[in-house]
Amino acid sequence: MAYSVFRSLLFGLEAERAHEWVTGSLALAQRSALLRRHWRRRWAIRDERLAQDLLGQRFANPVGLAAGFDKDARLVLALAAFGFGAVEIGTVTPQPQPGNPRPRLWRHPSERSLQNCLGFNSAGMEKVATRLAAVRERPVPLGVNLGKNRTTSQAAAQGDYEQLLRRFSTLADYFVLNVSSPNTPHLRQLQVPDFAQAVLAAAVEITAVPVLIKIAPDLPTAAAIELAEAAVEAGAAGIIATNTTTDYALLPGARPVGGLSGAVLREKSFALLQALGRAFAGRTILISVGGVDSAAEAYRRLRAGASLVQLYTALIYEGPRLAGRINRGLVDYLERDGFSCLSEAIGADL
């Protein structure tokens, strides 16, 4: 109820301005260790049945925050205290860039969705790396989502990813190659096996940190599986499915720009996860994102083959209690279905 009132006030502001106000406030508030402990007591669920060892890390629960909310690593401690099992920052680019002109973020409250054409607005890798290096406490696994600069040519794109891998090699628990955002011109043209294999081959030489690749929901299923196959063969530790969609028919009245996220993406994202689950069960880690907003939906993704799930848009609509509520619900589902731990439920519907 309290967040509903707060949300109504926030929604009176333009979407990106509201986001900046919230993130600025959280950046100040997280300085208080007392406040962070209060948040953890209120929202974090501790239950060993939800824990998994993946990517060389202990994930206390499977509900992570997707990239996009904390682009510049300003809120790592606050977001971990909200009860997320992992936090992914970024997308980070080598050089600072402002992104696309405003307005570039819109809410669709009746559909519990967002639309953005932010365009990798980033403080740049040096500022973000300096900020991460100053975070002495690492309460949850930290992912760093990597993207090329807008001005970098397709031919030089691999160099951008290599720079980022080197710079964050001692700061990230896992990396995500973002070649699927619709908001950087021609970026999705890098969603091809040859590029994935080239970057991942370089990554093996650069870092021992696990590297995943994030794909778009708009890829034909066969192309998505082909790309994932090439990535896994080249050394990818997993696949994140999916980024936002440019299927504007999903949302009547949508602007013909940017990507849609949230509830309108749910079934499209789930369908691709199902296909990937059937193709890669037991072979690689799958992380499902796109329309996850409840314990029921998270459980459906896990049973379809995802080891972890992520969310972002639902946090805007539900508030900081959401990760804890989902995790509490997952424990109930495990008990209902007779599973002693989460890993037993993963892929149960395949």
The strand pair at 105-108 and 113-116 is best described as antiparallel
What pLDDT is recorded for position 2?
A: 82
pLDDT score of 1: 64
Spatial distance between the Cα atoms of 37 and 133, rounded to a whole number of angstroms = 22
Give the residue from 346, 253, 256, 350 showing the smallest Cα distance to 307. 346
19: phi then psi, degrees, rounded to nearest 5: -60, -40
CB atoms within 10 A of CB 314: 23
CATH of the domain spanning 2-345: 3.20.20.70
- Collapsing DSSP to helix, strand or coil, 219 comes out as coil
Q: Is 341 left (phi over 0), alpha (psi -120 to 50) or beta?
A: beta
Alpha-carbon span 293 to 288, nearest angstrom:
12
Average pLDDT along the chain, 350 residues, taken 10 residues at a time: 89 98 97 97 96 98 98 98 98 98 97 98 98 94 98 97 98 98 97 97 97 98 98 98 98 95 98 98 96 98 98 97 98 98 98
Amino acid code (one letter) for 146 = L
DSSP 49: G
User: Model-level pTM greater than 0.85?
Assistant: yes
What was the pLDDT predicted at 136?
87
Tell me what pLDDT residue 22 has: 97
Active site residues: 181
Q: Is 185 helix (H, G, I), strand (E, B) or coil?
A: coil
